[in-house]
Amino acid sequence: MAKIIGIDLGTTYSAVSVWDDKKKEAVILDNLRGNRTTPSVVSFNKAGELIVGEDAKQNLWAAPEDTVSQIKREMGTDFHVTMRGKEYNPQTISAFILRYLKQCAEAKLGEPVYDAVITCPAYFTEVQRSATRDAGIMAGLNVHQLINEPTSAAIAFGLEKRAEGEKKIYAVYDLGGGTFDVSIIEIGDEITVLGTGGDPRLGGLDMDEAVMKWALRQIKQQNNGLDLSADESVRRRLKVEAEQIKKTLVG
């Protein structure tokens, strides 16, 4: 029986998993670079080849005009990006990421993958959910279901088992790359999202942006008014350093 994969399509990083019958839990599958998470970045290299993940993120320095990231923030909108003279909408960019994750799963499992479940924020509108489903279809996947991210988190932590025979209410906080939100969920016979709220522009990316701007202010104050805020290459380098410092602190 063909495996059904689970995909977390994130703003900054994405991951793919599969149910392990022996462990009785979902396990994350490594990508083609041997990493558990994949940068949600799409780019074209010098040869005109489409690249996704770590290679695409590294290509941001060499070809920022041919690199796209954070596309999840634009899902369900009429946003378009132009690369190599061709326009792409959010669904198409997301499909590139999903197709790569599909390939990673197939390489790890040693068999074709056709079916998937994809997570999305609880606050996503029907338009955004439809766009996410379309991206999955474009990637060659039969999307069985879109699951709210707080619901998937509750399942992952086994909260539905702890609530057997009674109803319990939990607050699930989700601090991601693009969003910081909280959902109130009720767990009984099924998991129901009672309400959700938060800021779709308050995630790890925004923290990196704030640290980068702070660094630019420090450079200006300590170097006789030297203003590098208009230098995009400096801004990108500082943002990368900010991300690394954040990871070090968290780790």
User: Cα separation of 56 and 12, whole Å?
Assistant: 12
Which one of 174, 181, 208, 243 is the catalytic residue? 174
Which one of 74, 149, 181, 208 is the catalytic residue? 149
Q: Tell me, yes or no, if 208 is annotated catalytic.
A: no
20 vs 7, 23, 29, 213, CA distance in Å?
15, 5, 11, 44
Q: Tell me, yes or no, if 149 is annotated catalytic.
A: yes
Q: Quick one: DSSP state of residue 88?
A: E
Which one of 8, 66, 134, 181 is the catalytic residue? 8
Which one of 57, 72, 102, 108 is the catalytic residue? 72
In which residue are the tokens 């709220």 written?
A: 197
Sign, CA torsion 170/185/124/115: positive
Q: Tell me, yes or no, if 8 is annotated catalytic.
A: yes
User: Cα separation of 74 and 70, whole Å?
Assistant: 8
Q: What is the CA radius of gyration of the chain?
A: 20
Q: Tell me, yes or no, if 72 is annotated catalytic.
A: yes
Looking at residue 30, its amino acid is D
By DSSP bridging, strand 115-120 and strand 67-69 are: unpaired
As a dihedral over the C-alpha atoms of residue 89, residue 91, residue 92, residue 93, rounded to 10 degrees, the angle is 90
Q: Which residues are catalytic?
A: 8, 72, 149, 174
